[in-house]
A = this chain, B = another copy of it.
Amino acid sequence: MRDFSFYNPVRVHFGKDAMTKLPEELEKYGKNVLLAYGGGSIKRTGLYDRVTEALKAAGKEVYELTGIMPNPRTEKVYEGIDICRKHGIDLILAVGGGSTIYCCKAIAVGAPAEGDFWERFFVNWEPAETGIPLGVILTLPATGSEMDKSSVVTRFETNEKNGYDSEQMFPRFTILDPTLTYTLPRHQMVNGIVDTMSHLMELYISPPDDDFLTDYLAEATMRTEIDAARKALIDPEDYEARANLMWCSTFTLCGMLNNAKKTDWESHNIEHPLSGVYDVAHGAGLSVVHPAYLEYFLQPALPRLVRMAKNVWGVDPAGKTDEAVALEGIACLRRFFHEELGAPATLTELNIPESAIPRLVALTDLSCFGYQTVTAEDVSAILHRCL
């Protein structure tokens, strides 16, 4: 087992009545609150009214940052930083999914810092010394950003999409109410499931291959996610199912499943240009890329893929070669993604032509941390398998 450090100070309130914890959280912070959200969906669902009523009852002065877009951009961060500085914001309350939270994390460390947040943190990775407290009310589970210290922001002018990690960006509290996900369209639920499974495999299918707690926990999370997904597909308002999907997604990226693992984010890296160039949903892109990635790297990852086939998908290894067992496991994954969930299986379904592959390859970040170095030729071969 490799050495590791673990630290995650996020306070989570989970459940049907999690929103009732909001007043006691608000009490801990000063008067001036920045309420940040994306489009109008929280107004349609009534969540906006519930939150603003709680803020009013707590005697807060509320300033709003609205219209945070998917792949949040630097200009929205600057807008939030200006509000924080002008009004001495004491708490940033992010209501939404990963994009809103990412944007608010950048604002949280950017506002109290001298100079330009982008240069200092997202380019030069200076350690942030302080951050405005951040609270989260999650509406869309997938990115795990509600219980981690990461942010990703896009600088549109220069086409840069940079990440930054800082303990100052950990949310102070996160409210997870699974009933808030009932109104998500089916394709968004499916994309979240694919994304969570992909995160789990990126953590699990990486060295070392010893049997240790982190791997057993990752298998347990995959089995829970698969079971819950099947139930939620039948009944999107199955509370137990939605609750498991939400908690699996958050738990996956809270750090416990990174412990002692090298991790391997290359499937995500290969997917990013698909989203970036063709505006494909991240989960849809992963549904195409991740199974093909695993088939391509069958040999280096063989022991781990055999274990996943047996322990997650219930493949019976009797009388089969390791290769056959591993491929049967990946076939189960494909059936789950492409038949049960109905997520796309090919680039063609995403309207991405073969001729696009060289450009996509050129845009793929090759900073791989898995079993072996990934080359541009590998990425090209994997994408050709996806046609």
Contact = CB atoms under 8 A, between A and B. Distances in A.
Interface in A219-249: 219-221, 223-224, 227, 239-240, 243-244, 247-248
A16 interface: yes
A21 B3 CA distance: 11
Contacts of A216: 220-221, 223-224
Nearest to A218: B220
Contacts of A223: 216
Contacts of A211: 224, 227, 240, 244
A1 B217 contact: no
A210 to B, nearest CB: 6
Interface string A1-26: 11111111111111111100100000
A224 B259 CA distance: 15
A16 to B, nearest CB: 6
20 contacts: A1-B244, A2-B15, A3-B15, A3-B17, A3-B18, A5-B11, A5-B21, A6-B14, A7-B9, A8-B9, A15-B260, A212-B243, A212-B244, A213-B224, A213-B244, A213-B247, A217-B220, A217-B221, A247-B259, A251-B256
Q: Which 7 A-B pairs have the closest CB atoms?
A: A3-B15, A9-B9, A216-B220, A220-B220, A7-B11, A1-B243, A6-B12
Interface of A: 1-18, 21, 210-213, 216-217, 219-221, 223-224, 227, 239-240, 243-244, 247-248, 251, 256, 259-260
